[in-house]
């Protein structure tokens, strides 16, 4: 190993780190005295170019390797996920570009990019220490991004809540990791599995499993560790919430599935109906079931669209956990398909909320009334995003659900043992249709107040939303474009 | 060629979306031309189908290889009947919504999207594709009712959307389970209906999965006791909406029951045959009975739909070729007749009088004011009663003949349902059009302000029945008469289907 090799393998991350510095420098030096909007657009341009460079570097990676015993693992799949993360970041930046929530443009954008770097390292990590460090890098950026609207007290409150919960979950995670290290003598995931093999399910291992699940449960906002999510989504500047809900979800789920299937290989247990065996899958099954039920039922009564999206995110985390617990290659790729398309969709939904919020002053459901007339293009995009979240074909959300659920049921084709979880998921997704339709009803059925003016959508945002909606439709009609990489 | 019915409809949607907002007249014309083009293609494709008994592939390209899903459109005689029905109903619906002034282009865009989805369901022979089209119809339905409907429209629309969605999700559970079991058994993933129909699913599996899928589709077919969306939905919907709901959307459910649930799980059908027949007969008698006591004209027709769809389900439960042919014929017949009835109530009467309450209508002597509406309703009514010469007679007769062999008791009860059916139609006819009441009260509601038909003085001439309405009504009456007089036209498409391998295990007994 030499430093050149590190640099080669970490080329996308390096490129992005340079971009962070450039964004800061450009904003501080070149754009003094310009309006916020101009600074945002210039910063956005630099960030997008940087992200594209990084994406090209990741896409064209000729080097593959495993540095320092799993500290940095680069293979086609991680490269592809990095490209996905970068694309999500580009869209996040585009949605932020018309934001009026801050004057600290350079800091804001560089924090988004720093968070992305953390997530990219997270995807490449197969070592507990590296996982923890990159997770913290990403999380710290997200905490600050949540607090970024200094004029709004709720933003600070949300950030504090998020930070305290996040810190707690980090502590749980570290505790679990330390137990794992003690039990197996290694911090590398495959070696942990080898070290644990044959030990059976002793109490210490169970504690390690539970604390790891708790730690990640916070990150992906699964019940009962979800309490921060609605407040954070509601209080944070909307683009920050979009980033929490999209990019960070993709990386967190990828790494959770990796830890569980690689690190705890051999301690799966079983969550099949009437065939329960202790292990990590039953733990995940309980968390998943709770998330699906509670997330969907609570979303019904929300009147703030951002809170509604937060609870729906909890519900979706529940569906995705099914993909984690099935732990077969097909369920793994189904999980990735689901989480990627989910991230694209929810990013779009938050993008629409950003515009409506800027035009009407809040994200209350009533403010969406008559959107179909006030901004036809925007509400058409909203229609696509929400219907995809509800799982209406032929949008990506439906195909994702079909992939995921069929893969989960398929793990035990003989007895259909996991069917009970899938039935729960499908019934709950039928419930979810109701609250998505409530939002769409506001937009398409009800009339706006008589003198409500047309909403002007910023060009950059509109481009981002149309691209996202196009992707959601495209991936629903031709899922092969994505599945072949997973 | 038939696939173009789908594409034309969606192209129509795109064109309408690009129109400027004010171009209401252009929107109507484009919608009508699209529907006519779809209908012509449907007819031409159906007539040119060489052998209606066989599943003739239209297009088959791989779609999601990992799941074994294909973009597989095909048609057999049953699809042909329903595609033609869709074509006719689409044109009629547009003719009867010629007076939509509010957001015209959006109305027709949703309308054509719904039609395109319906064509898609009837032509899909890949289960996933069928499901995609099936769910695709839910959204336009919701918006058509919630936006352009009348009485309690948001409630009715939401109820309909939720019922449909829950139903389709029951189906989804069944499909995923069937896909997994079939893959384990045959070793490769497939969602092809023809291939899946050859898989023999374990009996225990069929025992629970069949009712799930059947009820899931049956909800949309008005299966008692899951029919409650139908009356409220029909009443809330705009005229064209109720015509399509009763005319084709309910058929989607029945078609799904036959095409997916029964073909994939033939042993499951036999296990649950009696229960289905029981529910169907309850639906027939209950729907007719409730229709008899309604005060709202449209509710009468709404409940009559539940009753008539009961015949379809009863026909399906017979599992003999006469009953099944009757069921498919009844789908066609009810699609035409219910469309006509809703057109009279919703467009001809309600849009002019602004009331559907029999007590108000009684005072208006509509028979004299709107003679064309009266005559149309009489014709539609006798067709609905099952008078010989109209399509309802042949269809229901075949269902009853098929059912007599299997469930004699149920057949007698269904006969009672027909008698009640005569009663509620006569009652509605008398109250709405031919009341001799001398007491001429003003209509309860004076109409909303600024409406040109508002404040109709009793006895004063009403806006005459317009040309599009006349054309639409005559078209539907003619369709019902032609099929009533020459049922062979459709039967020679339907009957050969029962010999195809698709239905072999369903009809030729099985392991039970």
3-state secondary structure A413-444: CCCCCCHHHHHHHHHHHHHHHHHHHHHHHHHH
pLDDT score of B438 more than 80: no
Whether residue B169 and residue A427 make contact (CB cut-off 8 A), yes or no, is yes
pLDDT number for residue B459: 52
pLDDT in tens, B197-217: 888 888 888 899 999 999 999
pLDDT number for residue A1: 64
Contact B180, B237 (CB under 8 A): no
Question: How far lies A262's CA from each of A190, A191, A206, A431, B448, in Å?
Answer: 6, 9, 16, 34, 69
Band (pLDDT 50/70/90 cuts) for residue B437 is low
pLDDT number for residue B451: 42
pTM of the model: 0.91
pLDDT number for residue A256: 92
Whether residue B169 and residue A403 make contact (CB cut-off 8 A), yes or no, is no
Most A-contacting residue of B165, B189, B238 (CB-CB within 10 A), to test interface: B165
- Chain B: closest CA distance from residue A403 (Å): 8
Q: Which residue in B135, B143, B181 is closest to A413 by CB distance?
A: B181
At A446, is the secondary structure helix, strand, or coil?
coil
Residue B339: φ, ψ to 5° = -60, -45
Q: Which residue in B132, B142, B183 is closest to A394 by CB distance?
A: B132
At B254, is the secondary structure helix, strand, or coil?
helix
pLDDT number for residue B510: 46
Whether residue B177 and residue A419 make contact (CB cut-off 8 A), yes or no, is yes
Of the candidate ranges A393-397, B22-26, B131-135, the one whose mean pLDDT is the lowest: B22-26
Taking CB atoms and an 8 Å cutoff, what residues of chain A touch B130? Answer: none
Question: How far lies A234's CA from each of A96, A347, B370, in Å?
Answer: 16, 15, 58
Q: Which residue in B136, B142, B157 is closest to A393 by CB distance?
A: B136
pLDDT number for residue A411: 83
Determine the residue of chain B that is closest to A370 in CA distance: B147
Band (pLDDT 50/70/90 cuts) for residue B453 is very low
Q: State the residue for tokens 């007491």.
A: B439
- Chain B: closest CA distance from residue A223 (Å): 24
B162 in contact with chain A, both atoms CB, cutoff 8 A:
yes
Rounded-to-integer distance, Cα B71 and Cα B260, Å: 17
B183 in contact with chain A, both atoms CB, cutoff 8 A:
yes
B7 in contact with chain A, both atoms CB, cutoff 8 A:
no
pLDDT in tens, B376-407: 888 888 888 888 888 888 898 899 999 988 88
Of the candidate ranges A409-418, B282-291, B333-342, the one whose mean pLDDT is the lowest: A409-418
Strand partners, A66: A73
Of the candidate ranges A262-266, B230-234, B287-291, the one whose mean pLDDT is the lowest: A262-266
Taking CB atoms and an 8 Å cutoff, what residues of chain A touch B169? Answer: 426-427, 429-430
Rounded-to-integer distance, Cα A59 and Cα A69, Å: 23
Q: Which residue in A392, A409, A437 is closest to B135 by CB distance?
A: A392
B146 in contact with chain A, both atoms CB, cutoff 8 A:
yes
pLDDT score of B41 more than 70: yes
Whether residue B161 and residue A437 make contact (CB cut-off 8 A), yes or no, is yes
- Domain limits at A464? 3-483
- Chain B: closest CA distance from residue A327 (Å): 16
ipTM: 0.89
Taking CB atoms and an 8 Å cutoff, what residues of chain A touch B181? Answer: 413, 416
At A74, is the secondary structure helix, strand, or coil?
strand
Taking CB atoms and an 8 Å cutoff, what residues of chain B touch A427? Answer: 169
**Which DSSP helix (H) or strand (E) runs through A67?**
strand A65-67
pLDDT score of B271 more than 80: yes
pLDDT number for residue A120: 93
Q: Among candidates A132, A118, A139, which has minimal Cα distance to A172?
A: A132
Whether residue A392 and residue B142 make contact (CB cut-off 8 A), yes or no, is no
Count the residues in chain B.
Answer: 512
pLDDT number for residue B460: 57
Q: Measured between alpha carbons, how far apart are the two ends of chain A, in Å?
A: 29
Q: What is the Cα gyration radius of chain A? A: 22
- The per-residue b/e assignment along B434-443, b for 16 or more CB within 10 angstroms, e otherwise, is ebeeeeeeeb
- Chain A: closest CA distance from residue B107 (Å): 12
Taking CB atoms and an 8 Å cutoff, what residues of chain B touch A479? Answer: 64
Dihedral over Cα of B313, B315, B318, B319: its sign? negative
Taking CB atoms and an 8 Å cutoff, what residues of chain A touch B131? Answer: 393
Angle at the Cα of A459 from the Cα atoms of A456 and A463, rounded to 5 degrees: 120
Whether residue A437 and residue B154 make contact (CB cut-off 8 A), yes or no, is no
Band (pLDDT 50/70/90 cuts) for residue B410 is confident
Question: How far lies A330's CA from each of A134, A327, A407, B67, B77, in Å?
Answer: 27, 8, 6, 11, 39
DSSP track, B36-87? HHHHHHHHHHHHH-S-TTS-EEEEEEEEETTTTEEEEEEE-HHHHHHHHHHH
Domain boundaries, chain B: 3-439+468-505
Of the candidate ranges A140-149, A198-207, B349-358, B447-456, the one whose mean pLDDT is the lowest: B447-456
Q: Which residue in B135, B177, B183 is closest to A393 by CB distance?
A: B135
In chain A, which stretches have pLDDT less than 70?
1, 62
- The per-residue b/e assignment along B455-470, b for 16 or more CB within 10 angstroms, e otherwise, is ebeeeeebeebbebbe
Quick one: what percent of chain B has pLDDT higher than 90? 23
pLDDT score of B174 more than 80: yes
Whether residue B135 and residue A441 make contact (CB cut-off 8 A), yes or no, is no
The alpha helices in A221-304, defined as continuous H runs, are: 228-235, 238-245, 247-258, 280-300
Number of compact structural domains in chain A: 1
Taking CB atoms and an 8 Å cutoff, what residues of chain A touch B135? Answer: 392-393, 398
pLDDT score of B469 more than 90: no
Of the candidate ranges B287-291, B333-337, B451-455, the one whose mean pLDDT is the lowest: B451-455
- Kindly state the DSSP code that residue B315 receives in the 8-state scheme: H
A–B interface: beta-carbon pairs under 8 A: 80
Average pLDDT of the residues of chain B: 85
Rounded-to-integer distance, Cα A80 and Cα B164, Å: 38
Rounded-to-integer distance, Cα A122 and Cα A83, Å: 14
What's the whole-number mean pLDDT along residues B103-124? 90
pLDDT number for residue B448: 42
Residue A356: φ, ψ to 5° = -60, -40
């Amino acid at each position: 190993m030499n430093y050149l090799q590190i640099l080669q393998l970490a080329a996308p991350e390096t490129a992005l780190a340079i971009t962070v510095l450039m964004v800061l420098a450009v904003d501080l030096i070149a754009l003094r005295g310009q309006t916020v909007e101009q600074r945002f657009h210039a910063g956005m341009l630099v960030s997008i170019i940087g992200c594209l460079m990084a994406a090209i570097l990741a896409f064209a990676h000729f080097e593959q390797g495993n540095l320092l015993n799993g500290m940095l693992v680069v293979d086609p799949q991680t490269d592809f996920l990095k490209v996905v993360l970068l694309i999500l970041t580009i869209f996040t930046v585009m949605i932020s570009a018309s934001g009026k929530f801050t004057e600290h443009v350079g800091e804001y954008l560089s924090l988004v990019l720093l968070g992305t770097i953390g997530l990219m390292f997270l995807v490449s990590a197969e070592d507990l220490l590296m996982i923890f460090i990159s997770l913290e890098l990403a999380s710290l950026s997200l905490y600050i991004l949540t607090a970024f609207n200094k004029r709004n007290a709720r933003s600070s409150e949300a950030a504090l809540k998020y930070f305290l919960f996040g810190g707690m979950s980090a502590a749980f995670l570290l505790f679990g990791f330390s137990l794992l290290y003690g039990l197996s003598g290694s911090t590398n995931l495959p070696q942990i599995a080898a070290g644990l093999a044959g030990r059976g399910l002793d109490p210490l291992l169970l504690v390690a499993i539970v604390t790891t699940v708790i730690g990640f449960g916070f990150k992906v906002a699964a019940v009962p560790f979800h309490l921060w999510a609605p407040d954070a989504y509601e209080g944070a500047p909307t683009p920050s919430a979009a980033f929490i809900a999209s990019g960070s979800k993709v990386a967190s789920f990828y790494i959770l599935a990796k830890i569980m299937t690689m690190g705890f290989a051999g301690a799966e247990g079983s969550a099949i109906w009437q065939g329960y065996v202790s292990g990590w899958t039953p733990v995940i099954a309980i968390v998943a079931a709770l998330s699906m039920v509670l997330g969907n039922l609570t979303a019904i009564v929300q009147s703030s669209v951002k809170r509604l999206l937060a609870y729906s995110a909890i519900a979706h985390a529940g569906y995705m956990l099914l993909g984690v617990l099935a732990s077969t290659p097909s369920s793994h790729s189904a999980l990735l398909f689901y989480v990627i398309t989910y991230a694209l969709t929810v990013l779009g939904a938050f993008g629409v909320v950003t515009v409506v919020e800027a035009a009407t002053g809040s994200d209350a459901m009533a403010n969406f009334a008559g959107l179909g007339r006030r901004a036809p293009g925007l509400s058409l995009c909203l229609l696509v995003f929400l219907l995809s979240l509800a799982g209406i074909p032929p949008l990506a959300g439906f195909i994702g659900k079909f992939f995921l659920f069929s893969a989960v049921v398929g793990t035990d084709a003989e007895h259909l043992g996991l069917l009970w979880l899938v039935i729960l998921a499908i019934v709950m997704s039928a419930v979810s249709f109701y609250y998505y339709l409530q939002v769409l009803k506001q937009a398409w059925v009800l009339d706006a107040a008589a003198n409500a003016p047309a909403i002007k959508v910023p060009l950059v945002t509109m481009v981002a939303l149309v691209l996202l909606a196009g992707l959601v439709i495209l991936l629903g009609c031709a899922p092969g474009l994505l599945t072949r990489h997973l | 060629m038939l696939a173009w019915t789908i594409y034309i409809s969606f192209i129509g949607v795109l064109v309408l979306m690009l129109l400027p907002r004010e171009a209401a007249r252009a929107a109507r014309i484009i919608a009508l031309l699209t529907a006519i083009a779809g209908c012509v293609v449907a007819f031409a494709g159906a007539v040119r189908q060489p052998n209606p008994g066989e599943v003739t592939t239209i297009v088959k390209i791989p779609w999601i290889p990992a799941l074994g899903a294909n973009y597989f459109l095909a048609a057999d005689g049953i699809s042909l009947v329903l595609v033609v029905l869709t074509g006719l109903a689409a044109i009629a619906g547009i003719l009867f919504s010629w007076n939509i002034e509010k957001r015209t282009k959006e109305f027709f865009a949703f309308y054509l999207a719904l039609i395109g989805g319906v064509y898609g369901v009837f032509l899909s022979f890949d289960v996933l594709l069928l499901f995609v089209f099936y769910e695709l119809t839910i959204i336009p339905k919701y918006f058509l009712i919630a936006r352009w409907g009348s009485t309690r429209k948001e409630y009715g629309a939401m109820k309909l959307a939720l019922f449909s969605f829950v139903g389709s999700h029951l189906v989804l559970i069944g499909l995923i389970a069937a896909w997994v079991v079939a893959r384990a058994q045959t070793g490769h993933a497939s969602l092809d209906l023809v291939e899946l129909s050859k898989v023999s699913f374990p009996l225990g599996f069929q025992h629970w999965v069949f009712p799930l899928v059947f009820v899931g589709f049956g909800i949309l077919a008005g299966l008692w006791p899951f029919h409650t969306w139908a009356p409220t939905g029909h009443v809330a919907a705009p005229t064209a909406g109720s015509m399509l709901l009763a005319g084709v959307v309910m058929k989607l459910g029945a078609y799904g029951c036959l095409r997916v649930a029964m073909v994939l799980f033939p042993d499951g059908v036999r296990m649950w045959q009696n229960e289905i027949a029981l529910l169907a007969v309850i639906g027939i008698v209950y729907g007719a009975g409730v229709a008899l006591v309604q005060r709202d004209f449209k509710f009468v027709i709404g409940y009559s739909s539940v009753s008539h769809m009961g015949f379809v389900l009863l026909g399906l439960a017979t599992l003999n070729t006469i009953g099944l042919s009757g069921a498919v014929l009844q789908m066609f017949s009810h699609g035409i007749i219910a469309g006509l009835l809703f057109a009279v109530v919703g467009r001809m009467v309600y849009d002019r009088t602004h009331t559907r309450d029999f007590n108000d209508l009684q005072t208006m002597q509509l028979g004299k004011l709107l003679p064309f509406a009266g005559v149309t309703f009489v014709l539609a009514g006798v067709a609905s009663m099952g008078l010989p010469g109209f399509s309802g007679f042949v269809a229901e007769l075949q269902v009853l003949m098929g059912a007599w062999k299997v469930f004699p008791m149920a057949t007698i009860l269904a006969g009672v349902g027909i008698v009640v059916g005569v009663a509620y139609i006569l009652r509605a006819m008398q109250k709405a059009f031919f009341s001799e009441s001398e007491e001429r009260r003003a209509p309860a509601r004076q109409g909303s302000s600024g409406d040109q038909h508002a404040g109709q003085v009793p006895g004063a001439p009403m806006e005459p029945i317009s040309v599009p309405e006349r054309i639409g009504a005559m078209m539907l009456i003619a369709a019902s008469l032609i099929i009533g007089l020459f049922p062979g036209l459709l039967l020679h498409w339907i009957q050969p289907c029962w010999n195809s391998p698709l239905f072999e295990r369903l009809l030729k007994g099985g392991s039970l």
